[in-house]
Amino acid sequence: MKEELNFQSPYKVFFEENVYTFETKNNHKYRVSFNLSNDYFEYTSTFKELKKVYTLNVEKISSHKEPLDVKVQKTIDQILQFFFEDPENSIIYLCDFQDNRELKRRNHFNKWFENSSFKNQVIKIDDIIETEDLNYYTSIIYTKHNPLRKYLETAYIEMLYFLKNKN
Amino acid sequence: METKTLNNSISKKESIKNLALKFIEDQKMIQKYLKNEITLEKLNERGIKFSKPI
């Protein structure tokens, strides 16, 4: 069932089959999803305490280009603002490295975050896993009032430690 | 000794790459789903869960 959400966003946001959708003035459709991703922390000591660790996906459905539309970012900001109203929600992020553009993605992601409306409500931890041939840029974002914060931080630190020091 | 160190180094690189690749592949599958290129069942088969976060 398609539900219209009462957001203060430039574009109307709908929720349908676990996906947020909106359409721009140029008729470009965007779909935004949050996918439960606790399982990436399966080997950490606090895994069982983790509840709401998500990955965020934002996808423009049409492939043709459109001029920069600041209302798109503002609308996505509103969706994230809503997402962080549940203080247990958190997001993990890893820059895609398969086309060697991971550093550009990290910079773009940081710029987006700096301009976000929810920046002051959340904590963002960044890290880099360095290997001989690749750098893996990763981040975790959670609210300052997340009651599971210590479990989340422990899981994130342990996972990175495991990846950096295995063997 | 040098062989063991080399093997450990390769093993470490592989484990990082495998987890990172799984993460990236999962994201690409989700992107495909959002673009209506694959079905929800395909995602479920891979263990990817959609949920209402709030």
Which value, in Å, is the radius of gyration of the alpha carbons in chain B? 17
- Select from B3, B23, B44 the residue whose CB has the most chain A CBs within 10 Å, as the one to mutate to test that interface: B23
Instruction: Name residue A59's amino acid.
Output: E
DSSP E strand boundaries for B1-54: 49-50
Token pair for residue A71? 């209302």
DSSP A53: E
pLDDT at residue B4 in the model: 63
Summarised one tens digit per residue, pLDDT across range A35-57 is 999 988 988 899 999 999 999 99
H-type alpha helices, chain A:
70-83, 102-114, 149-165
pLDDT at residue B10 in the model: 60
Is residue A17 left, alpha or beta, with left meaning phi > 0 and alpha meaning psi from -120 to 50?
left
Residue numbers in B near A118 (CB within 8 A): none
* Helix H or strand E encompassing A5: strand A3-5
Task: Collect the ranges in chain B with pLDDT lower than 70.
Answer: 1-13, 16
pLDDT at residue A49 in the model: 96
What residue has token string 């423009």? Answer: A60
Distance between CA atoms of A167 and B16, rounded to whole angstroms? Answer: 12
pLDDT at residue A100 in the model: 83
Residue numbers in A near B4 (CB within 8 A): none
Q: How many inter-chain contacts (A to B, CB under 8 Å) are there?
A: 83
Distance between CA atoms of B34 and B21, rounded to whole angstroms? Answer: 20
Instruction: Name residue A100's amino acid.
Output: N
SS3 A131: coil
CA angle A155, A59, A115 (to 5 degrees): 70
Residue ranges per structural domain of chain A: 3-165
DSSP A45: T
pTM higher than 0.80 for the full model?
yes
pLDDT at residue A114 in the model: 93
pLDDT at residue B8 in the model: 65
SS3 A70: helix
Are A83 and B15 an interchain contact pair (Cβ–Cβ within 8 Å)? no
Task: Collect the ranges in chain A with pLDDT lower than 70.
Answer: 166-167
pLDDT at residue A129 in the model: 87
